[in-house]
């Protein structure tokens, strides 16, 4: 599967911060039950790699990937943990080379036209606009569509249930990323029904 088809699996990719790998499987099952298959586990916690491995082993309907991949070592560790794709907040030449060699879909982060052009030169035409709202959001994506019509985006950062549909309406947006599907309170309470309900609402965005 390439990055294009990966982002076509679900209109929203939850950005998941896991502090306890023991809840990873139940969390993943709750999201998949709501129609959200692509799960980004951010490499911001010590539990992230173990969470990825558990989801990969026990939730076959999920596509689990690593977020906040910043170095070759990050990517290699994520792949060892079973990650099926990766996303980064930015892109360096070393990371680009590692991503190309990895054999898995990789979506690098960009925030400007110049960064998007450099990512394209490195072989990436599916990009993560980050941090989306802070750098211009919908207005920037509309502006980039003119000179860079072949690029497609997964904007992340400042996106939630109130504005996701507006982003998804743009022709150059394939999916959006956001943390609102896994609120801290629901995770703490292990309220999987709440997370499934949020996932169902997010899945419906693709049908509008």
Active-site choice (40, 133, 139, 194): 40
The count of other CB atoms within 10 Å of the CB of residue 186 is 18
Let me know: does 156 contact 178? Beta carbons within 8 Å.
yes
Local structure of residue 173 (DSSP, 8 states): B
Which of the following is catalytic: 94, 122, 128, 207? 128
- Alpha-carbon Rg for the chain, nearest whole angstrom, is 16
Exposed e or buried b per residue across 118-129, where buried means at least 16 C-beta atoms within 10 angstroms of its C-beta: bbeebebebbbb
Judge whether 40 counts as a catalytic residue. yes
128 a catalytic residue: yes
Give the catalytic positions in this structure: 40, 128
């Amino acid at each position: 599967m390439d990055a294009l088809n990966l982002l076509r699996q679900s209109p929203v990719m939850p950005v998941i911060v896991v502090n306890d790998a023991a809840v990873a499987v139940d969390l993943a099952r709750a999201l998949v039950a709501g129609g959200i298959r692509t799960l980004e586990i951010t490499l911001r916690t010590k539990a992230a790699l173990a969470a990825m491995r558990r989801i990969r082993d026990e939730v076959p309907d999920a596509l689990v990937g690593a977020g906040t991949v910043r170095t070759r070592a990050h990517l290699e560790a994520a792949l060892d943990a079973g990650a099926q794709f990766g996303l980064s907040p930015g892109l360096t030449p070393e990371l680009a080379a590692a991503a190309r060699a990895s054999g898995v879909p990789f979506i690098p982060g960009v925030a400007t036209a110049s960064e998007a052009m450099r990512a394209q030169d490195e072989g990436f035409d599916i990009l993560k606009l980050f941090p989306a709202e802070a750098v211009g959001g919908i207005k920037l994506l509309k502006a980039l569509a003119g000179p860079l019509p072949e690029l497609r985006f997964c904007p992340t950062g400042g996106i939630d249930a109130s504005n996701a549909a507006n982003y998804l309406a743009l022709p150059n947006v394939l999916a959006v990323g956001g943390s609102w599907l896994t609120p801290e309170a629901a995770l703490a309470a292990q309220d999987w029904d709440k997370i499934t309900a949020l996932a169902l609402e997010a899945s419906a965005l693709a049908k509008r």
